[in-house]
Structure 1
Amino acid sequence: MAIYRANPKHGVAWLTGGSSGIGRRLALELAGQGWTVAVSTRPEDSIEQVVEAAASLPGKILAYYCDVADEAGMATTVETIEREAGPIMLAVFNAGVYIPVHGEALDMANMRKTYDVNVFGILNGLVPVVSRMRTRNRGHVVLMGSVTGYFGWPTLAAYGATKAAINNMAEALRYDFEKMNIRIQIVNPGFVDTPLAAKNTHFMPFLMPVDKAGARMMKAIGFGGYETTFPWRLTWLLKFMRMWPNATRFAFMNYASRWRGYPLMPGRTRE
């Protein structure tokens, strides 16, 4: 039996983190396909420019403000969207944060914030929206992962770990979701030219324009399978590297990133 795939005729698309980057591009792509898109973001991040950009498109974008780390607020947002706009048939959990982690200066606050946004920020929306999809006996969920979740990278002890957790969680939930006629997809992009990627000062191979990344995500939602990953020249290399012995992969990443040549943070010295 074919698992349900979201259709704009059936209800609303909900997108978190849609004020900039891939989220903004995807919101416009969805509106271009006729969707009513409920875009939610933090109160300090304006959605008005995205709403205006969609004015001439077949669909429309509606603005909702909520921090994904707020469990009660996310449940209220789901309730408000469904009351005001219609049933959420497609939920795209895109909101994320990247804070570099250096082993010589571990910081619990930054680690906790990364998990609160990237992992619990998904769960805070996933739990209430899937409850409603289960009642309707159909739904479509998309989680934003990253190729950095495939194995460890320098400075990504928090970000990469959350993306690995998201991939594992999606794979585990897929067994039960498909029995409920809820499609779950994971998108693992490489480096995309967004404000989030701009925080990374190191080499980012095969950097993809955000418009192209948004189009790839839209294609995945409409036709893709369980996992979508891009650009293929990078991501399939990384998938191959996962099969390498740990020592070989660690040595290669040290060489490719030139990480041994980077100094420790100011005020820190090597033993």
Structure 2
Amino acid sequence: MLKDSKQLIWITGGGTGIGRATALAFAAQGHRVVVSGRREEPLQAVSDSVREQGLSGSLGILAFDVTDTADAQGAFETLCRREGVPDLVMLSAGNHQPMPVSELSVDSCRALMEVNYFGILNVLEAVLPAMRERGQGTLALVSSVAGYRGLPTAGAYGGSKAAVINLAESLACELNGTGIDLRLINPGFVRTPLTDRNDFEMPCLIEPEEAAEAIIKGLRGRGFEICFPTGFAMIMKLMRLLPYRLYFSLIKRKTGL
């Protein structure tokens, strides 16, 4: 659980989008934040924003590639040497690529799985032993409501996010009572460089700052899942309950596919 006392927070995918907005929101609350991503330039821009805005917290940068197991382990060891074991790790590094059936590609699916799913596992493998030894910590895994059910053109992306949801549920069962608080974050449509790739009107689209506010509010509570925006997330949850015949019919009417 996120506490009012100042904590050490590590955010992967912190250079853009939801990760960036949440990092700045944490820094505004006085926390010590470290953001990670593959490229140093966007990470440095986030750090510069903290100084320019005069935020009360601090924000450091640590560049590495989440798809590289050894790089993830090395980054965690570096973080521990510099700052200590983080109190909260938010795993928000991700990628998105629409894949209509006419462009079905194993390579596209594999590339998204490497970032969205195995990228989370690489960091978890590094972080979990230290948190278990200490007996406390919060892990926040960012998935998507797209992982609830199969959606048109989202076979690659949605499949990777469904895997993250399943992983989070499985780990939460085993970590219950260990002092490690595992959370699942399922956003709807958030305006980011990734959603800019969509060529359709995105319902209930929100800004990254709104997503950050919802995430921080959720982390202060006790619920396992943090999903937003509320209305759209509830619709997606209800769609999981529909039998296939009704679900496919509804999707066809709404999308024309």
> TM tier, shorter chain?
over 0.9
Q: Would you say the 8 A contact 2:6–2:30 is kept in 1?
A: no
**C-alpha displacement of 1:258:** 2.1
Which AA in structure 1 matches 2:42?
Answer: S
Q: Would you say the 8 A contact 1:149–1:163 is kept in 2?
A: yes
Partners in 1 of 2:207 and 2:115 — Cα distance? 24
Q: Deviations over 1:82-109 (max 9, x none)?
A: 1101221100000100111122222222
Over the residues paired in the alignment, what is the CA RMSD in angstroms? 1.4
Percent identical among aligned pairs is: 35
Partners in 1 of 2:4 and 2:58 — Cα distance? 11
Structure with higher helix content: 2
Partners in 2 of 1:8 and 1:125 — Cα distance? 25
After the TM superposition, which parts of structure 1 deviate over 3 Å for at least 4 consecutive aligned residues? 6-11
Extract unaligned runs of 5+ from structure 2.
Answer: none
Secondary structure of residue in 2 paired with 1:121 = helix
Partners in 2 of 1:203 and 1:250 — Cα distance? 20
Extract unaligned runs of 5+ from structure 1.
Answer: 260-271
Alignment of 1:151-162 (within 5 A): 151-162=149-160
**C-alpha displacement of 1:224:** 4.4
Alignment of 1:140-151 (within 5 A): 140-151=138-149
Query: Relative to 1, partners in 2 of residues 1:53 and 1:10: Cα closer, same or farther, differing over 3 Å?
Result: closer
Q: 1:82 aligns with which of 80, 83, 87?
A: 80
Q: Would you say the 8 A contact 1:14–1:39 is kept in 2?
A: yes
Q: 1:169 aligns with which of 167, 170, 175?
A: 167
Task: Provide the TM-score with structure 1 as the length reference.
Answer: 0.90
Which AA in structure 1 matches 2:161?
Answer: K
Q: 2:63 aligns with which of 62, 65, 86?
A: 65
Secondary structure of residue in 2 paired with 1:101 = coil
Task: Provide the TM-score with structure 2 as the length reference.
Answer: 0.95
Q: Deviations over 1:147-193 (max 9, x none)?
A: 11110111110110111111111111112212321000101111011
In the other structure, the counterpart of 1:258 is 256
Q: 20-29 or 172-181, which moves further after superposition?
A: 172-181
Q: Would you say the 8 A contact 2:6–2:32 is kept in 1?
A: no
